[in-house]
Structure 1
Amino acid sequence: MSLLRNPWARTALVALMAAVALTGCAGNKKKPRLAYEERPVELLYATGADRLDRGQWSQAVDYFQEVERQHPYSEWSRRAILMQAYAHYQGNNYPEAVADADRFISLYPGNATAAYAYYIKAICYFEQIVDVGRDQAATGQALAALSDVTQRYPRTEYAADARLKIDMVNDQLAGKEMTIGRWYMRQGDTLAAIGRFKTVVDRYQTTSHTPEALYRLVESYMTLGLVEEAKRNGAVLGFNYPGDVWYSDAYRLLTSRGLRPATEPGGERRGMMRIPFLHRKAETVRPPAERLAPPPAAPAPTQPN
């Protein structure tokens, strides 16, 4: 007997097809929004803040979005945009956090708290920086955004944190130049390597990579037979970093060729330590605490005369 002629088989088949259809719909379904229920703005905002404190980033976003949806023209709505940016950032949803920050800047460019929107956007780029062996697109974006914060809001705590991170970003960019320069040296393309090392010395001279870059220039110029250039870079290295191991190596290299640098290696100074590139969310400045005025109280009922 055919399965389709069997009523029990037909019932089971229909149930199976319905289950498959529901499964497919569930797989394509976006995250559900909070069911619309008109609630006081203070309650919505306070609940979102509570979810932030608990580390429930996705739920916090839901409540702050609801503030915007139900009370779009209130002070609370403006504040909720920044809180969404912060919650998205904490949840590592950097594209959404940047979009929130850009939306705030577009809507409220002259507001005092726009400083935080610029800051959290810069931090999102900063935390997407990867090791020097990979593409550094986010590094360039981070440097531009962090510099924007220091230029626009130089006396804020955001600028203070941005300056520290700019040093780290420059160290990262210098490290990328050094990686490429060493690769050129291994390939025998000494002129190309020199270009990379000179970039570090000229553009990133305050980073931890400068002593090695100067040594590599000594090494490269000696390879090309440009003795005077090698001596000049060795002298700069010895004057600025006399106790650094890279100068000790440069000194040995120059003296092995019969050259005698004016400065002998010393032990009183060490080269700069490489800045550890770490992302610590706990050190990120939280959104500014604003005093938002509560809604006006309802007028008292008139007493009969």
Structure 2
Amino acid sequence: MQHKTANPLLHVFAILLTSIVLSACSSTTNKEPVVEDAKPEAELYASAMAKLEGGNYRPAIEDLVAMEARYPYGRYSEQAQLELIYAYYRSFQPAEAKTAAARFIRLHPDHEHVDYAYYLKGLTAFEENKGALDQYIGTDKAKKDPGAARDSFTDFSTLIKRFPSSEYAADSRVRMVYLRNLLAAHEIHVATYYISIKAWLAAANRAKYVVENYQLTPAVEIALQIMVQAYTELGLLDNASNAQQVLDANFGTRDVSEATIDPSEAEEQQAPEPRSWLSRLTFNLFD
């Protein structure tokens, strides 16, 4: 009696199916989900602090960001947020530093160290205004976009108004003097540009703005000279005379002719004499 032979294709399919099922079962039973061990908050904070003290700012940022994600209401969360601002600042990430500082100020307006957040925010903008290569190429900062300088001045001003006794107030005041002179000088640069294209009214208005808003800065003397020249060119002799009187009363006698300013000649001066127009305009930056 002959036995009926089974279909070989069905036999192969059965073997493959069995292998797949066994493999799936094996992978399910033998492999467990891998869960990353989360460091305790105190350990993560200590790690971040050690990296900050060693100047390893970007690795410290990774730890601080991880802390904020894992322990948003932990014991060290607020301090970690402050340290994160500092780490961003020291690692030359100004946008991130200012964002982190603004966030801390918004979330913790009454925190005992919120003055530090204001200070770091202002300091970041202050350094941003300077630029990384300014110290090497001698850039005249008064010619740059003053946006960062204004932001820095505002942050330092807020710090001093809210926390006059802060340990950061004294340094903030010194920086504000520098920034105020810088902003005034920027207005003078714009005014001299208007003079170069004979836009006398625009030049006079810019100079007047300096006199009214940046008193006690070195730029005031130059602003008054510009006003004398611009008003004379416009035929507004009474205005020119008033500006001349203020100039004489505060900076000694000046003739209207002496107030004439030629920006192209001023730019060519490389070693101005003491109290020259360029020296006074740039607060000795070109000297």
* TM > 0.5 fold call: yes
Pairing partner for 1:220 from 213, 230, 243: 230
8 Å CA contact 1:171–1:275 kept in 2: the answer is: no
Report the CA distance between 1:72 and its aligned residue: 2.8
Q: Aligned pairs, how many?
A: 224
Give the letter aligned to residue 41 of structure 1: E
Q: Find the aligned partners of 2:101 and 2:284 in 1 and give their Cα distance.
A: 28
Q: Which has the larger radius of gyration?
A: 2
Distance 1:135 1:254, change over 3 A: closer
Matches within 5 A, 1:264-303: 274=283
Runs of at least 5 residues in structure 2 that lack an aligned partner in the other structure: 1-34, 131-140, 261-274
Structure with the higher helix share, 1 or 2: 2
Give the letter aligned to residue 133 of structure 1: K
Q: Find the aligned partners of 2:125 and 2:221 in 1 and give their Cα distance.
A: 28
Matches within 5 A, 1:114-125: 114-125=114-125
Give the letter aligned to residue 197 of structure 2: Q
Matched residue, 1:198 = 208
Matched residue, 1:149 = 159
Q: 1:251 and 2:255 equivalent?
A: yes
Report the CA distance between 1:104 and its aligned residue: 1.8
Q: 1:169 and 2:179 equivalent?
A: yes
8 Å CA contact 1:71–1:77 kept in 2: the answer is: yes
Matched residue, 1:65 = 65
Per the normalisation by structure 2, the TM-score is 0.68
Aligned-residue identity in percent: 30
8 Å CA contact 1:241–1:271 kept in 2: the answer is: no
Q: Find the aligned partners of 2:102 and 2:282 in 1 and give their Cα distance.
A: 36
Q: Find the aligned partners of 2:206 and 2:259 in 1 and give their Cα distance.
A: 25
Q: 1:237 and 2:247 equivalent?
A: yes
Q: Deviations over 1:156-200 (max 9, x none)?
A: 122222222222222222122111111111111111110011111
Report the CA distance between 1:271 and its aligned residue: 6.3
Matched residue, 1:32 = none
SS at match of 1:196: helix
SS at match of 2:38: coil
Q: Find the aligned partners of 1:51 and 1:133 in 2 and give their Cα distance.
A: 38
8 Å CA contact 2:228–2:259 kept in 1: the answer is: no
Runs of at least 5 residues in structure 1 that lack an aligned partner in the other structure: 1-34, 257-266, 277-305
Report the CA distance between 1:127 and its aligned residue: 2.2
Per the normalisation by structure 1, the TM-score is 0.65
Matched residue, 2:111 = 111
Report the CA distance between 1:84 and its aligned residue: 0.6
